[in-house]
Amino acid sequence: MPSLANHQSNDFTKLLLIGDAKSGKTGSLVSLVEAGYKLRILDMDNLLDILKYMILEKCPDKIGNVEFRTLRDKRKATQAGSEIVGQPKAFIEAIKMFDRWKYKDENGDVDLGVPAEWGPECILVVDSLSRLCDAAWDWADPLTPTGKSGFKDARATYGTAQDVIEQTLATLTSANFETNVIVIAHVMYMEIGGSEDPETGKMVGGTLKGFPQGVGQKLSPKIPQYFPSVVLYTNEGGKRTLRTNSTPLIDLANPKPFAMAKSYPIETGLAQFFGVLREPPKAKAEPKLVRKV
């Protein structure tokens, strides 16, 4: 009979980090770099500038511990609005990266192996889930058949995109995905427990709650269910804070509520949060990225 003391959650942190836009989510990753973690960032937002300069300011000797890949579908302006150039590929490339962190860029080939085998000294960061969801919708849209009316049923596109995002979260937070995971998401507010307005399709007459932004409203309440740790970034009076205890609008969670402080400054908060849950990485020489030219 397995002992609860040996549960796999003791080895890896799976964290959902939510907050409003520009609340300091990406830049706050610097404290984990300072603590010695190796970060592998799936960059869907293309907004890593702040993290780069934070690392160069605080721990420039560790900038080599951060590897990233930026994935965004190329777009062009047309008279009908913005359109993707060619076939949407960002979502499929992201899924491939979760299976094996391998790709080719202008500097050669990069191969960091299988993320599920990176271990406790690495953190896979998805920045952000909001843009990953957008990429999933763009991927699903061409797969949706056109009906007899000559139009596509957007509900089918949303359904496909929601399913693949939920499957992805299930994979990243599963017991056999043996590395730490941080998924960064923006907050969206919606009514729950009410009734659906037949004209708008939105829930009305319920309770206003905050959830991670997903693909449509049906997915968002499901997202936190996959994470044992959910934290919120707030900005009150110009002071940015990592919050660990729930608010009237947003439910939060962590595995050690009796040991965890109710809040931390975002400058050091993520490292402090991880520090409550596990020992920091041991200092050792960092191997160079594997590149074949």
**DSSP structure string for 111-141:** E---GGGSEEEEEEEEE-HHHHHHHHHHHHG
Round the average pLDDT of the chain to a whole number and report it: 90
Higher pLDDT, 125 or 204: 125
Q: Distance (Å, rounded) from C-alpha 201 to C-alpha 95?
A: 31
Q: Distance (Å, rounded) from C-alpha 249 to C-alpha 110?
A: 42
Total count of domains within the chain: 1
Specify the pLDDT at position 150. 78
Higher pLDDT, 126 or 2: 126
The pTM score is 0.89
Contact 51, 29 (CB under 8 A): yes
Specify the pLDDT at position 10. 63
Higher pLDDT, 282 or 58: 58
Confidence of residue 248 (pLDDT cuts 50, 70, 90): very high
Instruction: Give the model confidence (pLDDT) of 250-280 as tens digits.
Output: 999 999 999 999 999 999 999 999 999 998 8
Residue found under tokens 């964290």: 15
Specify the pLDDT at position 172. 98
Strands (E), 28-139: 38-43, 66-70, 75-78, 81-84, 102-105, 108-111, 119-127
Cis before 263 (ω within 30): no
CATH number for the domain that contains residue 193:
3.40.50
- Domain of 89, in residue numbers: 4-292
Confidence of residue 97 (pLDDT cuts 50, 70, 90): very high
